[in-house]
Structure 1
Amino acid sequence: MFMRAGLTIGEFSQITHLSVKMLRRYHEVGLLEPDRVDESTGYRYYSTAQVPNAQVIHRFRELDMPVREIKAILATPEPEARSALISEHLRRLERQLDTTRAAVTSLRRLLGPASPPLQVELRTSAAQSTAAVQAMVDQEEILRWYDGAMTELDAALADACLSQSGPPGGLYDNALFTHERGSATVYVPVTATAPAIGRVRPFVVPAAELAVTVHHGPHDDIDVTYGALGTYVAEHALAVAGPVRETYLVGPPDTADESAWRTEIGWPVFRTGIRVSG
């Protein structure tokens, strides 16, 4: 009786939609080895039992998962450990999608019709008692860190039965933008001394002179508003050292309508006798 040697690399390629070139590459790196290699001819032969693994690899590669991570997943027998590895990659993809969306939004705004003149107000901001979370943060982690810090702040204030006396805000060190790592502080104004719970601590936001404008909508293109305000400050020779402030006047806790979100940006300045343009 004739015994079939197995599926040739071409046949296996047709079944799995992995190219012959990729199958050879995956064999070389130990990701998907043939069931058998003929010693005399060097021909690769695959079994039908390998089709599911090949399809899994195909899907992971479509999601740009690195080969080393796919190998780790396939070599992990525990379902929970496999799920954790896959989830981490999916979270990375979500961050990349957020970055792409933000870049597209910024480009549309930059390349679209001219925006109306920037509305800037020079303002003296009084010192403010708050509950805050502070940390040294990498720029690429700032959104995740912010979400976690705000969740912790909300929980701490609820535990202490403290009322919020104004919109939340943040202070962001210049090094976050210039060196991709710097100090970040998110805070919530409170009516009494804030508790010290977990990472939450009492914090007094210092008084400052600020050039202030309001960013409308989600933060996908907030860098454009930053650029416009920074240009204004530079052209009027106003800038001084100090962290930029953001005040979240209207945000996700207030409405799901992103177009209604409002973020006030305050740039530390040295007040002069110049007139503010409206």
Structure 2
Amino acid sequence: MRRGLTIGEFATLTHLSVRTLRRYHEAALLVPATVDPFTGYRYYAAEQIPSAQVIHRLRELDVPLAEVKSILAADPERRADLIAGHLRRLEAELDRTRAAVVSLRRLLRPDPENLQVELRSVPARTVAAVRGHVTLEDSTRWYDAAMAELDAAFAPADRTGPPGGRYANELFTAGAGAMTVYRPVREPRARGRIEVVELPPVDLAVAVHSGGHDDIDVTYGRLGSWVVEHALAVDGPIDETYLAGPRDTPAPADWRTEIGWPVFRLTPGGLA
């Protein structure tokens, strides 16, 4: 009577090498169905193929052996949750990698585009806003939730301009700081987390970032360089105005974000 699949046959079926299968046996990760006590030959059951394939895919994703062992030992529902959690971490890493690649490609252009900067005096405004102290890591999720709350409270007919955000320097320098997300509307009113906020007047050096936000840091850097070159001092939080974004169009190439850097001239006479 046939004992099962030889280690060679099992290796062929699962795309795991014989050497790898022996290592997994020694680590008690994938134990053969039977081992001949006289020859030491390993035999595997056909029912072990799915487990071997799961191990193979998890190792391709660089899941540590100890974590693979925990996943296999878990019940099916818990196993699915563990794998889903690892996939989310991988997706986040891919997002960071993609953003880094986009930024580096733009930075390495031999003739970077000329940045158009406008000096603008923005008057005081009363807006509907959501404010909070947020970590940089959580800022995107927090922004999406706050903007969704504002969108639900004020219909398009109530809005008088594009939404914006005001971000404390500490958010970037210390990894956590004050964030204010707002919408200009005809009649600002409080509701839930939404407050009626008076934004003070501010002088800004403004540049437009076109496209997705993966390389918005490059525009930030070039605007900062422009500020330094023109003898303008920085004072106060950064402003962003979302002229067109994900809520307006699903095409990142069509997004346009105004970055406003608070400034004042070091010479008498104020802004030119």
| Interval containing the TM-score (normalised by the shorter chain) | 0.7 to 0.9
Q: Deviations over 1:166-188 (max 9, x none)?
A: 11111222233233333332222
Q: 1:232 aligns with which of 226, 229, 233?
A: 226
Q: State yes or no: 1:50 paired with 2:42.
A: no
The answer as to whether partners of 2:264 and 2:271 remain within 8 angstroms in 1 is no
The aligned counterpart of 2:85 is 88
Counterpart of 2:119 in structure 1 is: 122
> What is the CA-CA distance between 1:3 and the residue it aligns to?
4.9
The RMSD of aligned alpha carbons is: 3.0
**Counterpart secondary structure, 1:192:** coil
Could you tell me which amino acid in structure 2 is paired with residue 177 of structure 1? F
Contact 1:136 1:182 in 2 (8 A): yes
Q: Distance in 1 between matches of 2:152 and 2:225?
A: 38
1:179 partner letter: A
Q: Which runs of 5+ in 1 are unaligned?
A: none
Contact (CA 8 Å) 2:231, 2:266: kept in 1 or not? no
Q: What residue in structure 2 maps to residue 196 of structure 1?
A: 191
The 2-side partners of 1:40 and 1:175 are apart by: 69
CA contact (8 A) 1:121 1:276 kept: no
- Asked if structure 2 preserves the Cα contact closer than 8 Å seen for 1:233 and 1:239, the reply is yes
2:174 maps to 179
Task: Give the SS at the match of 1:123.
Answer: strand
Count residues with an aligned counterpart: 271
In percent, how many aligned pairs have the same letter?
58
Q: State the AA in 2 paired with 1:91.
A: R
Q: Which residue of 2 aligns with 1:268?
A: 262
21-30 or 132-141, which deviates more = 21-30
Q: Is the 8 A contact 1:172 1:245 kept in 2?
A: yes
Q: Give CA-to-partner distance per residue, 1:110-165, whole Å, 9 cap, x none.
A: 2224123211112122222223233333333332332222222222335xx98222
> What is the letter of the counterpart of residue 181 of structure 1?
A
Q: Given the two structures, how large is their TM-score scaled by the length of structure 2? A: 0.84
- State whether residues 217 and 262 of structure 1, in contact with CA within 8 Å, keep that contact through their aligned partners in structure 2: yes
Equivalents in 1 of 2:129, 2:45: separation in Å? 60
Partner of 2:152: 155
Q: How far did residue 52 of structure 1 move?
A: 0.7
| Residue 252 in structure 1 maps to residue 246 in structure 2 | yes
Gaps of 5+ in 2: none
